[in-house]
């Protein structure tokens, strides 16, 4: 027969069981007491430091952190700073941390109107960008409770407030209740169109349009607040502009009265300008080849100007020398003007009339010279006669050299001038030869 071995189970003593029970109870109690710190330590998130003007009921591991009414973290630490304020350390979920933008704000808000329990609300703000993790005191606020307000009120104000509360019962008597009931009865008919307005305000895409509008308004407000005191200076400038417009309202009115006529004139001028531009457009086509050739001509003219530069430089000195002569010529010019005025009258009329007619007409003899003459004009006959006269007075000397007499006119023939024209032309010719050399 097989043998069965009987094992005897040792029973734990009551003392050991009591110790184990106490240890388990202590561990469970410790976990319950430090549940929130432990859960905050184990939960992932990013750190945010907020500077408040007052601690105002914020407690570590007891105060929630919310954004748009949704809990996104907890307060992990609160301490006093050296200036009487408070510094709170928050732990915020990583996804919500990225939504705070570059300049978020924070404020302490009560859960109920009576206070007692508070939470920290974070409000995104600023330009889209990376948040440095710290909110200064100027971007934070704390609530003002009703008891603080009443402590600041004057006794007369408190008495008036008590009277208002006392008369509130009278306002809610039978007639007041009837009026309130009538208001509630008519409210659905009034609120129904309001519901349509609110539905329209949501836009065609309710899930994004209203959010986009709010974000745009927030960006606008952030842009206006970014440069310090710039909005204030803009408003001051606008006030000064309005004051100037108010004082010059008469001039503005006259300007507006004359504006229609000015616009009519401008329209007429623009119409004429349009016609002118059309003509210029027509002219510009044929002128384009000329402008292209002008470019080539200017390129060829440039070397000529370079070569003419020394001559122009020397001509400056020549003009300085000629200036005294020109001043001396002024009286001569005046005299010549008088002479020409005298000649311009009957003398020129006689030359233009019978003299030119006689010189241009052919000559035919009359009386005893009848039959003589020629068909060519008189000035040609006179030229032939002078040419024959020059030939008739030519002689030869004993050596056979020809001697000829001729009537000529040169610069030296003009008398009565303050300068000798032959010397002037000779000097100019000498300058030209020197420049050529």
DSSP per position, 187-239: HHHHHHHHHHHHHHHT-SSTTTHHHHHHHHHHHHHHHHHSSTTHHHHHHHHHH
pTM: 0.35
pLDDT in tens, the chain (437 residues): 444 444 444 555 777 777 777 877 777 777 666 666 666 566 678 889 999 988 888 888 888 899 988 888 888 889 988 787 899 999 998 888 888 888 899 999 888 766 678 899 999 988 888 888 899 999 998 887 666 666 666 677 767 777 777 777 666 666 677 777 777 777 777 777 777 777 777 777 777 777 777 777 777 776 766 665 677 778 888 888 888 888 888 888 888 888 888 888 888 888 888 888 888 888 887 778 888 788 778 888 888 888 888 877 777 778 787 888 777 777 777 777 777 776 666 767 777 777 777 777 787 777 777 777 777 777 777 777 777 766 655 555 555 545 455 555 555 555 555 556 666 666 665 544 444 44
| DSSP percent split of the chain into helix, strand, coil, nearest 5 | 60, 15, 25
Domain containing residue 212: 155-216
The count of structural domains within the chain is 2
Is residue 289 a part of any domain in this protein?
no
Long-range CB pairs of 218-223 (<8 Å, 24+ gap) are 218/124, 218/125, 219/127, 222/103, 222/125, 222/126, 222/127
Radius of gyration of the chain, Cα coordinates, nearest whole angstrom: 59
* Same domain for 76 and 120: yes
Give me the pLDDT at residue 6, please. Answer: 46
Q: Kindly provide the residue ranges of all beta strands, DSSP E only, lying in 86-172, ordered along the sequence.
A: 86-92, 105-110, 118-123, 134-135, 140-141
* Same domain for 180 and 129: no
Give me the pLDDT at residue 49, please. Answer: 92
Question: Residue 377 contacts by C-beta under 8 Å, 6 or more apart in sequence?
Answer: 359, 360, 361, 362
Taking the C-alpha atoms of residue 50 and residue 89, their distance in angstroms, rounded to an integer, is 6
Is residue 119 a part of any domain in this protein?
yes
Pairing of β 64-67 and β 118-123 = parallel
* Same domain for 145 and 160: no
* Same domain for 171 and 134: no
Is residue 385 a part of any domain in this protein?
no
Is residue 369 a part of any domain in this protein?
no
Taking the C-alpha atoms of residue 77 and residue 60, their distance in angstroms, rounded to an integer, is 5
Contact assessment for residue 343 and residue 328, using Cβ atoms and an 8 Å cutoff: no
Helices of type H across 345-364: 346-350, 356-360
Is residue 189 a part of any domain in this protein?
yes
Is residue 175 a part of any domain in this protein?
yes
Helix (H) or strand (E) holding 171: helix 155-171
Taking the C-alpha atoms of residue 419 and residue 330, their distance in angstroms, rounded to an integer, is 12
Count CB neighbours of 55 within 10 A.
17
| CA dihedral over 312, 318, 320, 326, signed as positive or negative | negative
Is residue 171 a part of any domain in this protein?
yes
Is residue 5 a part of any domain in this protein?
no
Domain boundary among 216, 231, 264: 216
* Same domain for 98 and 85: yes
């Amino acid at each position: 027969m097989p043998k069965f071995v009987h094992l005897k189970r040792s029973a734990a003593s009551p003392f050991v069981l009591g110790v184990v029970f106490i240890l388990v109870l202590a561990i469970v109690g410790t976990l319950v007491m430090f549940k929130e710190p432990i859960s905050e330590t184990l939960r992932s998130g990013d750190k945010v430091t907020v500077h408040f003007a007052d601690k105002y009921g914020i407690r570590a591991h007891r105060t929630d952190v919310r954004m748009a009414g949704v809990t996104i973290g907890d307060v992990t630490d609160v301490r006093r700073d050296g200036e009487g304020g408070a510094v709170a350390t928050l732990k915020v979920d990583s996804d919500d941390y990225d939504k705070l933008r570059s300049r978020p704000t924070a404020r302490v808000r009560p859960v109920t109107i009576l206070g007692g329990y508070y939470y920290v609300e974070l409000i995104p703000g600023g330009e889209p960008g990376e948040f440095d993790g710290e909110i200064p005191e100027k971007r934070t606020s704390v609530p003002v409770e009703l008891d603080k307000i009443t402590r600041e009120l004057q006794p007369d104000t408190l008495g008036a407030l008590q009277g208002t509360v006392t008369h509130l019962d009278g306002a809610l008597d039978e007639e007041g209740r009837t009026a309130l009931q009538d208001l509630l009865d008519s409210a659905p008919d009034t609120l129904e169109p309001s519901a349509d307005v609110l539905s329209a305000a949501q836009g065609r895409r309710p899930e994004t349009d209203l959010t986009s509008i709010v974000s745009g308004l927030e960006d606008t407000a952030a842009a206006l607040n970014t440069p310090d005191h710039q909005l204030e200076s803009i408003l001051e400038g606008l006030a000064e502009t309005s004051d100037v417009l108010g004082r010059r309202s008469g001039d503005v009115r006259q300007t507006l009265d004359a504006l229609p006529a000015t616009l009519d004139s401008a329209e007429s001028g623009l119409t004429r300008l349009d016609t002118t531009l059309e003509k210029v457009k027509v002219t510009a086509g044929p002128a384009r080849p000329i402008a292209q050739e002008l470019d080539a001509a200017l390129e060829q003219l440039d070397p000529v100007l370079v070569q003419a530069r020394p001559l122009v430089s020397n001509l400056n000195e020549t003009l300085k020398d000629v200036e005294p002569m020109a001043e001396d010529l002024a009286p001569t010019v005046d005299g010549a003007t008088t002479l020409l005025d005298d000649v311009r009258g009957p003398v020129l009329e006689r030359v233009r009339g019978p003299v030119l007619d006689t010189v241009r007409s052919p000559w035919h003899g009359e009386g005893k010279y009848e039959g003589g003459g020629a068909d060519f004009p008189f000035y040609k006959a006179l030229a032939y006669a002078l040419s024959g006269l020059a030939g008739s007075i030519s002689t030869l000397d004993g050596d056979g050299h020809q001697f000829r007499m001729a009537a000529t006119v040169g610069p030296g023939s003009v008398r009565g001038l303050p300068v000798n024209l032959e010397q002037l032309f000779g000097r100019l010719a000498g300058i030209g030869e020197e420049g050529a050399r």
